[in-house]
Structure 1
Amino acid sequence: MITPKIISKGILRALASIVLVTLLLYFFYQIQAVLIYLIVALILTLIGYPILDFFMKRLKFNNTFATIATVFIFVVTISGFIMMFIPLILNQGANLSLLNTAEIEKSTIQLVNQITVFLENHHIDSSQMLKEVDLSSKLNFDLIPNFLNALLGTLSSFGMGLASVLFITFFLLKDRRSFLITARKLIPDNHEDQVLNSIEKINKLLSRYFIGLVIQLFIVFILYLIILLIFGIPNAIVIAFLCAVLNVIPYIGPLIASILAAILTMLANLGTDFQSEILPTTIYVLIGFWIVQIIDNNLSQPIIFSKSVSSHPLEIFLVILIAGFLFGVLGMIIAVPLFTILKVVAKEFFPENKAIQLLTKNI
């Protein structure tokens, strides 16, 4: 029989749970920087496992020296990247971010006027439409300098985060066996084999995925840079870098990158004739970017998404689409790794299910 005392205890228990969850979420919010360091360190650890195995199995290094050598490769690679690209990015990014907002607005209005003249010369009356829209009052011209200033601020505090990430990565690589032993003690005996097999498969698949993703972004960056340099676009390195990073967002990222490149190309050529200079150059840059996307979509992405995580391209497309609708851009970015983890766990714990057998037949 349900008594008032039982009801009151249930209410108190529910309130205590809500308070506990709220405090836990608040705690995670306060240490979000540490959580980001952990996630990045885990990604580096997954990328580093094949390198570590190479040093231990092929070169016969012991665990400590193999770990030091792996982290050293990370340090050299990141340092080389910084020395080669970051000074140029900071220099060119500063040039863009220090632009006066009023100057950006003036340049944009000038560009719109040139487009209007071009359309009128082709018997398209758009001046009245542009006046009614009142573009200058609706665009936020602080967006570009604010974004670039935020990027520069992030790069300036990069050192401390990098040191923390490398420190965490070192111990995740070095003491991975200790972590597995600890995990064995915490895992119930009847599920130990399933959990350990899941961890091993997830580690293998995600290692291949993240290594492939880094290679893909580097290839896209180089191709974007070549196109921008061919057409003499100022700030080519920072534009190519930003557009390549946007490719992390599946499907939508390349579209945003193309729009960003087109806008910056037009602004870079401002002052020249729209019909003979600005429009053709912008079209050529867009065609170049689309060719890069065709190469990426038909070469790089199928290799990474299909072969590295053993999933069909249509399957990956639907997963990314659903994740995008549910969780936005962040969902699209983490969709493939998370889906891979869920597939591996499902195969280990529910191997007899026919739907799971169909989805995980290549794992």
Structure 2
Amino acid sequence: MITSKIISNGILRALFTIICCGLLLFFVYQIQSIIIYIIISLILTLIGNPILNFFKHKLKFNHLVATIVTLLLFIGILSSLIMMFIPLIVSQGANLSLLNTAQIEKDIILLIDQISVFLNDHNIDSAKLLKESNITSKLNFNFIPNFLNSILNTISSFGVGLGSVLFITFFFLKDRLMFIIGVKKIIPISHEEQVLNSFNKINGLLSRYFIGLLLQLFIVFLLYVIVLLIFGVPNAVVIAFLCAVLNIIPYVGPLIASVLAAILTMLSNLGSNFQTEILPVTIYVLIGFWIVQVIDNNVSQPLIFSKSVSSHPLEIFLVILIAGFLSGILGMVIAVPIYTIIKVIGKEFFPENKIIMLLTKDI
């Protein structure tokens, strides 16, 4: 028989659970920066493990020396990128008027006027459409100073974050065996073999995935630079770098990169005639970018997204599509690693399931 005391105790337990969950979420929110540091460190660890193993097994370094050399290699690559891109972005960013909000607004209004004239010359009454929509009066770039301030704040805390990430990564690489021993003490003996096998397989697959992803972005960046240089687009390296970074977002990223490249190409050539110079160059750049994306979609992405995580290209496409509907762009970015982890765990713990057997036959 349910008494009032039982009901009140149930309500109190439910309230206590809700309060504890709320406090936990609040705590996670407060330490979100630390969680991000740990996630970045885990990714660097996955990338660094094959390098560390190379130093240990091929060059016969001891574990500590191999760990230090791997970390120094990361620092060297990061320093090279900073030395290569920061001066370039600062100098070419000035040419793009990235820091002059008034100039940005002026340039885009001028570009809209040139497009309007071009369309009018081809019997399209775009001026009336622009006037009715009042688009030029709606252009407001006052958000840019706030955005730049947030970037400056991020840069100011970059040193702390970088030091934290490198420190955490060092111990993830150095004490990997210690962490495994610690996990073995926590998990039940009956599931120890499955958990350790899952860990090793996930480590191997995701290491290949992230290394391949870096290689893919570098190849796309070089191809974008070549396209932009061929057609004489100013600020080629900066535009190519921004567009290559967008390729982290599967399928959607290249489309956004094409639009961004078209806009920046037109803004970079504003002093030229729209019909005879700006428009043809922009079309050529778009064609070049689409060719790069065809190469990437048919060579780089299948190799990275499929072979590195042992999944069929259609399978990966559907996973990314579903993740995009559920969680937006962030879901698309993390879809492949999360799906890989789920597949590995499923294979270890439910090996007799027919669906899991079908999905994990290559793992």
Q: Same fold (TM over 0.5)?
A: yes
CA distance in 2, matches of 1:250, 1:187: 36
For 2:127, give the aligned amino acid: S
Q: Over residues 145-167 of structure 1, what are the superposed CA-to-partner deviations in whole Å (9 max), with x where a residue is unaligned?
A: 65566445534532222221111
Match in the other structure for 1:317: 317
Q: 1:61 is paired with a residue of what secondary structure?
A: coil
- In structure 2, runs of 5+ residues without a counterpart are none
Q: In the superposition, relative to structure 1, how do residues 306 and 98 fare at CA in structure 2: closer, same or farther (>3 Å)?
A: closer
Match in the other structure for 1:53: 53
Q: Over residues 155-202 of structure 1, what are the superposed CA-to-partner deviations in whole Å (9 max), with x where a residue is unaligned?
A: 453222222111111100110000000000000111110010000000
Contact in 2 for aligned 1:120/1:126 (Cα 8 Å): yes
CA distance in 2, matches of 1:106, 1:59: 58
Contact in 2 for aligned 1:350/1:356 (Cα 8 Å): yes
Stretch of structure 1 that moved more, 220-229 or 9-18: 220-229
Match in the other structure for 2:201: 201
For 2:349, give the aligned amino acid: F
CA distance in 1, matches of 2:232, 2:141: 25
Match in the other structure for 2:229: 229
Give 1:86 deviation, angstroms: 2.2
Match in the other structure for 2:72: 72
Give 1:203 deviation, angstroms: 0.2
CA distance in 2, matches of 1:121, 1:32: 54
- Report the TM-score when normalising by structure 1: 0.95
CA distance in 1, matches of 2:112, 2:292: 28
Contact in 2 for aligned 1:97/1:149 (Cα 8 Å): no
CA distance in 2, matches of 1:174, 1:258: 42
Q: Over residues 8-52 of structure 1, what are the superposed CA-to-partner deviations in whole Å (9 max), with x where a residue is unaligned?
A: 111111111111111111111111111111001000000111111
Match in the other structure for 1:176: 176
Contact in 2 for aligned 1:97/1:146 (Cα 8 Å): no
Give 1:119 deviation, angstroms: 1.2
- In structure 1, runs of 5+ residues without a counterpart are none
Give 1:110 deviation, angstroms: 1.5
Q: In the superposition, relative to structure 1, how do residues 151 and 314 fare at CA in structure 2: closer, same or farther (>3 Å)?
A: farther
CA distance in 2, matches of 1:287, 1:170: 44
Q: 2:66 is paired with a residue of what secondary structure?
A: helix
Contact in 2 for aligned 1:243/1:260 (Cα 8 Å): yes
For 2:40, give the aligned amino acid: V
For 1:20, give the aligned amino acid: C
CA distance in 2, matches of 1:39, 1:243: 24
Q: 1:191 is paired with a residue of what secondary structure?
A: helix
Stretch of structure 1 that moved more, 76-85 or 241-250: 76-85
Contact in 2 for aligned 1:97/1:148 (Cα 8 Å): no
Give 1:243 deviation, angstroms: 0.8
Alignment size in residue pairs? 363
Give 1:87 deviation, angstroms: 2.2
Contact in 1 for aligned 2:96/2:268 (Cα 8 Å): no
Give 1:124 deviation, angstroms: 1.8
For 1:34, give the aligned amino acid: I
**1:12-27 → structure 2 map (5 Å cutoff):** 12-27=12-27
Q: In the superposition, relative to structure 1, how do residues 150 and 215 fare at CA in structure 2: closer, same or farther (>3 Å)?
A: farther
- Report the TM-score when normalising by structure 2: 0.95
For 2:53, give the aligned amino acid: D
For 1:343, give the aligned amino acid: K
